[in-house]
Structure 1
Amino acid sequence: MQPLSIAAAQPLDFGTLAIPVTGSCLYVLGPDSKRSTSGGLCQFLGGDALPAEFALTCAANSLVQFQLIYTDAAPAGAAFDAAPETMAIDGAAPGSAYQVRPCDADGMSVVKAGGVIELRPEAPHQFSGPVGSIRLEIAYN
C-alpha cells in the first residue's frame, strides 16, 4: 500500500472583518469560498477570504476516512468553530466534518475546510493572528 502523506497547503483566512458596536456578528466562510454574515452591521471588509486547504497523496481510488477537528483559540470577544458545511474533498459539494471518500484517481486529493467566527464588541480591534486550529485526521488502509 502506498504511504499517505498530508501537507497543509493554505491556512484559513477570514480577511478583514467588521466588529459590531452592539450584539454580535457571525461570519461564515465555507470550504467552497462562499461567505455569509448574520447579525447587525456585519460585513467582510477586505482582503482575501480563503478556506484552509490540505493536500494528500494516497493510493488512487482507495477509501479514506477524513475528519476535521476544530480548536478555538480566539481572543476574548471572539469564538472560532466549524462551518455548517465544513469540508469539501476534490471539488465535491461541501459536506460534514467526517466523510469517507475514495482518494482521487490521480493519487492526490485536496481537502478544503471552512470556518465560522463570531465577533462581539469587546473583540480586540486591529487584531491579526490565529483564532484557532483545524486538524485533519485520516484513516486509510
Structure 2
Amino acid sequence: MDRKLNTLLRNFAMGLAYICVLLVIGSQQKVSEVSRQNLQIKNTLTATGEIKSIEDVWMYIETVLLHRLYPSEFYNGERKSFDDLRFIEDNLKMGPLRIRQIRVSDTCAAPALLRTYDIHCLPDYETDTEDKGVYKEGRIL
C-alpha cells in the first residue's frame, strides 16, 4: 500500500512539475526579447532598400526574405546539410514560417520642433498599439 501511494504521489509531483515547466515556457512568448531572438531575427529581415510599392514588396520577398529565411549555403559558400536548414542564424525553426501584416493604430509623440513641420512617427508594434480594424482592398475601413 505504501509503495502504491509513493508511486502515485511521485507521478502527481512529476505531472505538476511538467505543467509548471509548460507554463513557464508558454509565458515566455509574451516577453518581447526572449534570448534576444526577436532582435536577431528583426536585424536579419530588415529591408536593405526602400520599399514603396507592391512590386518592391514582392521583389524583397523573392530576392531577400526567402534567401535569408531559407539559406542553402553558409557564409563561406559551403552547402548546408538537412539538419542545418532548420536554423535561421542561431535560432531553431520550430515549424513553417508565416509572414503577416500588422498595422499600428496611433502615432507616437514627435518632438515639438518636428511637429511644426507636420512630421509624424509610428510607434513600435505592441499589443496595445495594434490596429484591429477590418480593411477592404486598398486599406479602406
Tell me the TM-score range normalised by the shorter chain.
under 0.3
Taking structure 1 as the reference length, the TM-score comes to 0.22
Q: Which has the larger radius of gyration?
A: 2
User: Which structure's residues are more often strand, by fraction?
Assistant: 1
Q: Name the one with the larger helix percent.
A: 2
What is the TM-score normalised by the length of structure 2?
0.22
Of structures 1 and 2, the one scoring higher in RCO (CA 8 A, sep 6+) is 1
